[in-house]
A = this chain, B = another copy of it.
Amino acid sequence: MSGTNTDVPAVLAYELPNPVPTAELEICPVGGIFRRVGDRWSLILIALLGRRPYRYNELHRAIEGISQRMLTRTLRGLEIDGLVHREVFPTVPPSVEYRLTPLGSSLLGPVSALAEWAVRHEPDMAAARLRNGSVE
């Protein structure tokens, strides 16, 4: 689905008048979303929670590379930005469930588009890195 694109930008063309006043770029929220989701764990969490709700330790076990500190911090960040919902069940012992909000779910589409690009073109980038002697 979705033809590959060597085609026109779209929003980008609109966002960037020619002399590029810089302020335009600062204001442009594209950078913002990349910063929010471009860290080490946010995307992984969003992808996971895109499948079903998870409890805290369930996430901790599932990802396993992540520290408790970063799991908590990343979840809080996503919660603050309204991408993830946190619900506490006052059971004994307590359990906390995390799920995507509708806003968070709406991110899955665009992210998937980028994911498809990455899956398709990552070999090209790897080849380029070899050609240009990054880690030879």
Contact = CB atoms under 8 A, between A and B. Distances in A.
Nearest to A5: B109
Interface residues of A, number: 74
A131 B128 CA distance: 45
As for how many copies of this chain the complex holds, the number is: 2
Interface string A70-90: 000000000111110000000
A10 B19 contact: no
A25 to B, nearest CB: 5
Contacts of A11: 112, 115-116, 119
Interface in A81-111: 81-83, 102-103, 105-111
A51 B131 contact: no
A69 interface: no
A36 B38 CA distance: 9
Contacts of A8: 108
